[in-house]
């Protein structure tokens, strides 16, 4: 059966282009309608798996619509998050921000449905550029600078990916975006993996994430926390499943992220570090590569988008109303923002994997996959991180924001209140889904790519394990919390190298290179110019006295001879002139005849 | 409403703390009666309250490592990158 294929990304793009034209009372319904239509389109496509939208472009076959179970689950959650994010940002008048967000969603959906590397690359870059505008939309110097860093890092990643798949095309003639030969990786396999890894914020190419997400606008961060990293996780599942090195990188990033999250003072940066930590689970699952692990990675990405979206929405609500996002400038807000507190708590508990919450049913799948594949160290390390996650996002963050010591200034305290209805509605949807997924397993589990796997998170042993870990982590937090109180500091990370590297470059240009340039100009002025002047003086003299002398001399000679001839031969007597002329003609004639 | 509940609980902090301790004791006690056939390693079967110990030590390790790492020069002044 052939079905009419309408690419969901196209709906978002057309919607984004029409948005500035839709004004007044039509704006809000239109903003709700476009992501809703996209979502309906995604659901419609999931009923009709297959390959659509194949175009011939020069020598290459481009596939825009590969609809299978893996692309379905990711497209579903992306489209759903687009609805939630758009509702959250509905009060914002700045249409450029919404357009950027929708182009960004379109990029993500396009990358998810892409069947070849060229299509993937086009949408990949679309995501990077569109999301940069979500950072710049904040319009202060910090955001501007962070946006430039973000786009430069992502351009670098894009180039690495491009080189990777071009080399692969050269070697194999294959552009299809499928599982790479990860058992015998070639240089291009590594390059493609690094290109994709950069968007998943895997160390050492991760520093862009907390930097950019903490500087973006409130709605910008809500969109960004969902799309870039999880689209990258999708592409890693598609191309690098079973690549061993990803287990090590994933576990490392899970631990690394959580250590930084515990040290962090900036709320949204803290949540950014949390993303790195949680994406670490997914990356490790991709590395494990078994059916259960891949299902776990998909489930966790799905759950993660919702609870992380919820956390960023709550943080955005605090930022929007108080204008503050540092823990050291907030605190005790439960009196002023009880609604936001509940959503932040739901998000924090969901990310920590509390039973009956979404994180519990997704994260445990990955940990079980690690244990079942007999990678015990990874299983224990990821369990260790889940304790850390609870500590950072489930305990420390809500404690410092809503309870604990009130560090708010009078002005902040005055401004603090629960946000507008649309932000609360978006948070309600997110919060509901976080709990719904944890309570009603078939909703998420029926969407997972490998249907033959059955997994039951609510075993007594697993419940007892999780509850023990959480209870005693909470106990540890209350005993040791004085060591992790917020301080007015920033934490140095690997972005130091390019931030200070850029500065070193600037210094090199400003100092040694500038000095050299100045010295060269001085040298030129004193030596070069005078040399040139002397040389040109010589040539001027030579021209005047030499060349002009020869030319003028010749002219003077000819003039003198002519004058002499005139005096001798043209005396004015006609018979004498005729005699000379006839004699000359005779001489010529004789010469002509005889010679 | 929520704010009132929180105020109510924080006014009775010693009692809340006691309830929490009782809950923790119950959790550990319950864990000993749970079927351990799904355990991944022998340690989980042999050590009573294994995951409780794991939880509290993980928490302590994360806090201490973060503290040490931060103090080693990673946490620095906020205007570090300013010109």
Contact B40 A379 (CB under 8 A): yes
Q: Would residue B44 count as lying in a domain? A: yes
Instruction: Say how far apart CA A432 and CA A443 lie, in whole Å.
Output: 13
Instruction: Say how far apart CA A278 and CA A284 lie, in whole Å.
Output: 10
Which positions in chain A touch B49 (Cβ < 8 Å)?
468
pLDDT digits (tens, 9 = 90+) for A456-505: 999 999 999 999 999 999 999 999 999 999 989 989 888 888 888 888 88
| Residue ranges of chain A with per-residue pLDDT less than 70 | 1-3
Contact A484 B66 (CB under 8 A): yes
Instruction: Say how far apart CA B15 and CA A595 lie, in whole Å.
Output: 142
Residue A51 β-bridge partners:
A66
Taking CA atoms, what residue in B is nearest to A467?
B27
For residues B59-82, average pLDDT = 92
Contact A476 B77 (CB under 8 A): no
What pLDDT is attached to residue A115?
Answer: 93
Contact partners, residue A405, CB within 8 Å, separation at least 6: A331, A332
Query: Whose structure tokens read 């508990």?
Result: A349
| Token pair for B9 | 């609980």
- Cα end-to-end distance, chain A, whole Å: 104
What pLDDT is attached to residue A2?
Answer: 56
Instruction: Say how far apart CA A219 and CA A88 lie, in whole Å.
Output: 7
Chain A contacts in chain B segment 51-80 (CB below 8 A): 51-56, 58-67, 69-70, 73-78, 80
What pLDDT is attached to residue A567?
Answer: 80
Q: How many CB pairs under 8 A join A and B?
A: 143
Which positions in chain B touch A334 (Cβ < 8 Å)?
2-3, 6
Query: Whose structure tokens read 């030319």?
Result: A551
Our count of domains for chain B comes to 1
Q: Would residue B38 count as lying in a domain? A: yes
**With a threshold of 0.95, does the pTM exceed it?**
no
What's the helix, strand, coil split of chain A in %, to 5? 75, 5, 20
- Cα end-to-end distance, chain B, whole Å: 48
Taking CA atoms, what residue in A is nearest to B58?
A384
H or E element that contains A71: helix A69-88
Instruction: Say how far apart CA A262 and CA A265 lie, in whole Å.
Output: 9
Contact A467 B27 (CB under 8 A): yes
| Token pair for A581 | 């002329």
| b/e burial code for range B44-68 (CB count within 10 A of at least 16 → b) | beeeebbbbbbbbebbbebbebbbe
For residues A83 and A223, is the Cβ–Cβ distance under 8 A? no
Q: Mind telling me how many Å the CA of B77 is from chain A's nearest CA?
A: 5
What pLDDT is attached to residue A316?
Answer: 95
Touching check for B6 and chain A: CB below 8 Å?
yes
Contact A490 B53 (CB under 8 A): no
Contact partners, residue A12, CB within 8 Å, separation at least 6: A34, A35, A38, A82, A102, A103, A105, A106, A109
Instruction: Say how far apart CA A159 and CA A155 lie, in whole Å.
Output: 6
Chain A contacts in chain B segment 19-48 (CB below 8 A): 20, 23-24, 27-28, 30-31, 34-41
Q: Would residue B41 count as lying in a domain? A: yes
Query: Whose structure tokens read 């394990």?
Result: A465
Touching check for B81 and chain A: CB below 8 Å?
yes
Q: Which residue from A224, A242, A358, A344 is spatially nearest to A293, judged by alpha carbons? A: A242
Q: Would residue B81 count as lying in a domain? A: no
Length of chain A: 595
E strands, A88-173, are: none
Q: Would residue B83 count as lying in a domain? A: no
Q: Would residue B49 count as lying in a domain? A: yes
Residue A489 β-bridge partners:
B77
pLDDT digits (tens, 9 = 90+) for A228-266: 999 999 999 999 999 999 999 999 999 999 999 999 999
Query: Whose structure tokens read 């011939």?
Result: A56
For residues A259 and A193, is the Cβ–Cβ distance under 8 A? no
Q: Would residue B59 count as lying in a domain? A: yes
Give the number of other Cβ atoms within 10 Å of residue A156's Cβ. Answer: 16
**Is the pLDDT confidence value at B41 over 90?**
no
Touching check for A491 and chain B: CB below 8 Å?
yes
**At B48, phi and psi to the nearest 5?**
-70, 140
* DSSP states of A537-553: HHHHHIIIIIIHHHHHH
For B53, the domain range is 2-74
What pLDDT is attached to residue A107?
Answer: 96
Residue A438 β-bridge partners:
none
Taking CA atoms, what residue in A is nearest to B59?
A473
Instruction: Say how far apart CA A7 and CA A107 lie, in whole Å.
Output: 11
Instruction: Say how far apart CA A227 and CA A127 lie, in whole Å.
Output: 9
Instruction: Say how far apart CA A590 and CA A161 lie, in whole Å.
Output: 92
Can you tell me whether residue B38 is helix, strand or coil?
coil
Q: Which of B63, B68, B80 to mutate to test the interface with A (most CBs of A within 10 A)?
A: B63
What pLDDT is attached to residue A3?
Answer: 66
**Is the pLDDT confidence value at B6 over 80?**
yes
Q: Which of A371, A480, A489 sits opposite B60 (nearest CB)?
A: A480
Chain B contacts in chain A segment 370-389 (CB below 8 A): 371, 376, 379, 383-384, 387-388
Contact A476 B55 (CB under 8 A): yes
Instruction: Say how far apart CA A376 and CA A381 lie, in whole Å.
Output: 8
Q: Mind telling me how many Å the CA of A508 is from chain B's nearest CA?
A: 16
Q: Mind telling me how many Å the CA of A521 is from chain B's nearest CA?
A: 29
Task: Check the CA dihedral B66-B69-B73-B79 and report its sign.
Answer: negative
A65 to A4, A47, A115, A298: CA distances (angstroms):
12, 14, 7, 19
Touching check for A477 and chain B: CB below 8 Å?
yes
Q: Which of A346, A388, A468 to mutate to test the interface with B (most CBs of B within 10 A)?
A: A468
Which positions in chain B touch A371 (Cβ < 8 Å)?
40
Instruction: Say how far apart CA A107 and CA A124 lie, in whole Å.
Output: 6
| Token pair for A199 | 């968007």
Q: Which residue from A320, A309, A472, A318 is spatially nearest to A402, judged by alpha carbons? A: A318
Q: Would residue B46 count as lying in a domain? A: yes
Contact A469 B80 (CB under 8 A): no
Touching check for A334 and chain B: CB below 8 Å?
yes
Contact A464 B27 (CB under 8 A): yes
Q: Which ranges of B34-81 would DSSP assign to H, the alpha helix?
A: 42-46, 50-69
Which positions in chain B touch A483 (Cβ < 8 Å)?
63-64, 67
Which positions in chain B touch A379 (Cβ < 8 Å)?
40
Q: Which of A384, A464, A493 sits opposite B34 (nearest CB)?
A: A464
């Amino acid at each position: 059966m052939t079905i009419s294929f309408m690419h969901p990304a196209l709906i978002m793009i057309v919607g984004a282009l029409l948005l500035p034209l839709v004004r007044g009372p039509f704006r809000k319904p239109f903003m709700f309608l476009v992501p809703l239509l996209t979502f309906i389109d995604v659901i419609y496509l999931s009923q009709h798996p297959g390959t659509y939208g194949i175009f011939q472009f020069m020598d290459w076959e481009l596939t825009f619509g590969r609809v299978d179970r893996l692309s379905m689950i990711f497209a579903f959650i992306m489209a759903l998050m687009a609805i939630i994010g758009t509702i959250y940002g509905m009060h914002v008048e700045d249409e450029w921000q919404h357009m950027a967000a929708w182009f960004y969603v379109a990029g993500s959906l396009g990358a998810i449905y892409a069947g070849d590397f060229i299509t993937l690359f086009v949408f990949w870059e679309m995501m990077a550029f569109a999301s940069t505008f979500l950072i710049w939309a904040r319009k202060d110097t910090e955001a501007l600078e962070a946006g430039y860093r973000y786009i430069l890092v992502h351009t670098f990643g894009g180039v690495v990916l491009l080189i990777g798949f071009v080399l692969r095309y050269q070697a194999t003639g294959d552009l299809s975006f499928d599982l790479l030969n990860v058992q015998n990786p070639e240089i291009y396999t590594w390059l493609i993996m690094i290109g994709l890894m950069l968007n998943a914020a895997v160390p050492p190419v991760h520093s862009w994430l907390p930097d950019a997400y903490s500087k973006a606008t409130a709605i910008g961060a809500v969109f960004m926390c969902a799309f870039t990293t999880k689209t990258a996780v999708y592409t890693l599942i598609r191309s690098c499943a079973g690549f061993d090195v990803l287990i090590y990188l994933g576990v490392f990033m899970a631990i690394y992220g959580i250590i930084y999250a515990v040290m962090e003072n900036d709320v949204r940066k803290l949540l950014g570090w949390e993303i790195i930590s949680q994406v670490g689970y997914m990356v490790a699952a991709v590395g494990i590569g078994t059916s259960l692990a891949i299902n776990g990675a998909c489930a966790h990405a799905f759950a993660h988008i919702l609870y992380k979206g919820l956390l960023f929405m709550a943080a955005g609500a605090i930022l929007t109303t108080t204008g503050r996002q540092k823990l050291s400038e907030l605190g005790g807000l439960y009196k002023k923002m009880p609604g936001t507190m509940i959503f932040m708590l739901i998000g924090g508990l969901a990310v920590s994997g509390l039973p009956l919450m979404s994180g519990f049913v997704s994260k445990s799948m990955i940990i079980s996959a690690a244990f079942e594949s007999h990678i015990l160290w990874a299983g224990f390390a990821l369990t260790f991180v889940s304790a850390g996650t609870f500590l950072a996002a489930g305990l420390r963050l809500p404690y410092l924001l809503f309870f604990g010591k009130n560090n708010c200034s009078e002005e902040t305290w005055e401004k603090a209140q629960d946000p507008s209805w649309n932000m609360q509605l978006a948070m309600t949807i997110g919060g509901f889904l976080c709990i719904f997924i944890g309570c009603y397993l078939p909703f998420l589990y029926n969407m997972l790519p490998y249907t033959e796997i059955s997994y039951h998170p609510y075993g007594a042993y697993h419940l007892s394990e999780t509850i023990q870990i959480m209870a005693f982590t909470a106990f540890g937090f209350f005993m040791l919390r004085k060591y992790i109180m917020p301080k007015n500091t920033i934490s140095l990370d690997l972005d130091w190298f390019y931030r200070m590297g850029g500065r070193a470059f600037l210094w090199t240009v400003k100092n040694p290179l500038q000095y050299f340039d100045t010295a060269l100009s001085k040298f030129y002025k004193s030596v070069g110019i005078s040399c040139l002047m002397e040389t040109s003086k010589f040539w001027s003299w030579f021209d005047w006295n030499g060349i002009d002398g020869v030319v003028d001399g010749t002219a003077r000679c000819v003039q003198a001879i002519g004058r002499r001839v005139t005096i001798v031969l043209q005396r004015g007597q006609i018979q004498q002139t005729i005699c000379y002329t006839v004699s000359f003609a005779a001489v010529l004639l004789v010469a002509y005849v005889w010679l | 409403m929520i704010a009132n509940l929180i105020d109510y609980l924080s006014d009775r902090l010693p009692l809340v703390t006691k309830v929490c301790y009782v809950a923790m004791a119950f959790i550990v006690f319950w864990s000993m009666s749970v079927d351990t056939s799904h355990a991944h390693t022998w340690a989980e079967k042999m050590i009573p309250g294994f995951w409780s110990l794991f939880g509290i030590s993980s928490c302590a390790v994360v806090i201490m490592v973060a503290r040490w790492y931060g103090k080693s020069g990673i946490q620095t002044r906020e205007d570090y990158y300013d010109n």
